[in-house]
Amino acid sequence: MGELKGGIHFTSLSFTSTDSPVEVKSVFAKHAEITTTNGLIEGEFHTTVSLALTTMNGHIKANASLYDDMLDGAPVSLVMKSSNGQIQSGIHLRSSSSTRSAFNISARSTHGDLHIDLDESPLDARLDLYARTSNASATVSMSREFEGSYRLQTTNALAAILLINAQRIHRACTVCGISLWRAIVALRKASFRGTRLLARMDMISYKLRMLRRL
């Protein structure tokens, strides 16, 4: 599928494929559902209501832009599911209004790595993000606007938080006597919860001290 973002806007788009890949250069749809078996899904997707990408025996590599136009008050949703393949997605969250926007994102993979990168988000946006993988690693990178709570849980693997904020991390490491620009907080085979970690220097310092003991 070629470049359709600028010329055609779909109200609803549904596409199903078997034994062949789905490759989209760029498409805009209020509602979009792409499903394939024994094939990959790749492309750039734009939506204002919902986007669902599902594949079996193939990977998903998608750049997704979610626009909350605030017309119906419902969250803009993105669902990605992959069996026996990885999920790799760069996600942009945008809003047409200064009022609080809302987004729901769900990504699930089986026997494949999961990589989610939220590049940008409106200020004060409500984001519900659920990312899960079985028998593979999962990496989620939040945008700098993120403030809120989180929970990490892992079995037979390492759960880690990588804090990347040069000024704050430098100050925290100076307090702890560690010369690092990046800090990793790690707990093995455990659940991990937190709230507004990036905005709390005492929490960063405490976790860095914990890191030194590992």
Annotate 30-68 with b (16+ C-beta within 10 A) or e (fewer): bbbbbbbeebbbbbbbbbbbbbbbbbbebbbbbbbbbbb
Average pLDDT over every residue of 19-46: 94
Taking the model in full, what pTM does it have? 0.75
What 3-state class would DSSP assign to 31? Answer: strand
Q: In DSSP terms, which residues pair with 89 in a beta bridge?
A: 62, 116
So what's the pLDDT on residue 105?
Answer: 96
Percent helix, percent strand, percent coil in the chain, to nearest 5: 15, 55, 30
So what's the pLDDT on residue 4?
Answer: 52
Name the average pLDDT for the chain. Answer: 77
- For 203, residues 6+ apart whose C-beta sits below 8 A from its C-beta are 194, 197
- For 167, residues 6+ apart whose C-beta sits below 8 A from its C-beta are none
Taking only the tens place, the pLDDT of each residue in 144-183 is 777 777 777 777 766 666 655 444 444 444 444 433 333 3
* Dihedral (CA of 55, 189, 141, 214) sign: negative
